[in-house]
Structure 1
Amino acid sequence: MLSLSVIAVVFGVIFLAELPDKTALASLMLGTRYRASYVFVGVAAAFAVHVALAIAAGSLLTLLPHRWVQLVVGLLFLGGAAVLLFSKGDDEEEVKAPADQSFWKVSGAGFMLILVAEFGDLTQIMTANLAARYSDPVSVAIGAVLALWAVGALGIFGGQMLMKRVPLRLITRIAAGVMVVLAGFSIYEAVAG
């Protein structure tokens, strides 16, 4: 039986933990470049996979070599920053027309970015811990998925709104800078242990 109180508690905890995380930045950047609904489908699917993994095998996630996960995440952020800074079409001030964007390409990019970047993340581990604490995996999964979807939607649609007021070139450069900083932190964590 579903517990609305467990769903609400999990939603609040996961939403607050994920809001300042790299997911909001990644969603925001994708939202400035691509059709929001396509991005959301990919991001939402990745979060559903993460929650399913956390619920099903949460205790095993803590056994993964944290250093390697952080190193891979750091390198992916560096790669993302390079793509943002050196990609052609940097001068575009408009999001490409939806006809130029394949649903599968855009949603697949959102899915892969979130799937890799969030693997072993704090909120995934928290979801596993909350599932063990409440012994109600369905309610925990619903609360966690809704919280993660809310953060992703805020980032995506926030990116769409931001682009109406700030030039894409500036948004891209700021996002690339933040990705370099996040890459530095992740690589430092991997090396320092």
Structure 2
Amino acid sequence: MEAFWVSTGVVALGEMGDKTQLLAVLLAARFKKPIPIILGILFATLANHALAGALGGWVAAALGPEVLRWVIGLSFIAMAAWMLVPDQLDDDLAVKEMALWGVLGTTFVAFFLAEMGDKTQIATVALAARYGDLVAVVAGSTLGMMLANIPAVYLGDKVAERVSMAWVHGVSAVIFLALGVLTLFNVGHLF
């Protein structure tokens, strides 16, 4: 359960103010159809994070436990620094209505592509490598994405106005830093 809950918390906090959360707001404003948008986010996240988790499992198997511990620990510390850099929606990811795909398809494609190389995808790779429980990590990281993005779809700009993204990014950075330090010092369980 630790892998599930840590993945959920890390990804939910990491997603706050992220470009994919901004994309959720943009999609909601453009299409005004929350259910297909939420389903598109869910399916894209499951596909993307399953691939990321599988990569994390492969990395864990390819590296020895000592090298893996250092790679993961330093990756979490790098993620802590990356969390302090505010994310913006890239112009090349701006959503254009694709009649062929509809709202669900447009959301799936846009989210899947926007999540490639994103903080939460990299975190999923590292978490899967650290915990070795692909199902728990993917389920947790997907739940974390949904916890951050469903309110963005329904409340959009109202949430962003009330929540300090600098504070959220700071808390996320501290969590990633703690995970990195605990991993480097070979602490097996966080809770």
Matched, 1:150 2:147: yes
Q: Is the 8 A contact 2:3 2:127 kept in 1?
A: no
Gaps of 5+ in 2: 60-88, 159-191
Matched, 1:27 2:24: yes
Q: 1:77 pairs with 86, 90, 104, which one? A: 90
Q: Is the 8 A contact 2:128 2:134 kept in 1?
A: yes
> Counterpart amino acid of 1:78?
D
Q: Is the 8 A contact 1:31 1:158 kept in 2?
A: no
Q: Is the 8 A contact 1:14 1:148 kept in 2?
A: yes
Change (3 A) 1:129 1:32: same
Q: Is the 8 A contact 2:53 2:134 kept in 1?
A: yes
Distance 1:152 1:17 in 2: 11
Q: Is the 8 A contact 2:36 2:103 kept in 1?
A: yes
Partner of 2:47: 49
Offset, 1:80 = 5.1
Matched, 1:121 2:118: yes
Q: Is the 8 A contact 1:6 1:139 kept in 2?
A: yes
> Counterpart amino acid of 1:140?
V
Gaps of 5+ in 1: 61-75, 88-100, 163-193
Scaled by the length of structure 1, the TM-score of the pair is: 0.58
Change (3 A) 1:81 1:44: closer
Q: 1:38 pairs with 23, 27, 36, which one? A: 36
For the aligned residue pairs, the C-alpha RMSD in angstroms reads 2.9
Change (3 A) 1:32 1:54: same
For 2:48, what is the secondary structure of its paired residue? Answer: helix
Q: Is the 8 A contact 2:93 2:110 kept in 1?
A: no
User: How is 1:126-141 mapped onto 2 (pairs within 5 angstroms)?
Assistant: 126-141=123-138
Q: Give the paired residue count.
A: 128
Offset, 1:78 = 2.1
Distance 2:23 2:154 in 1: 12
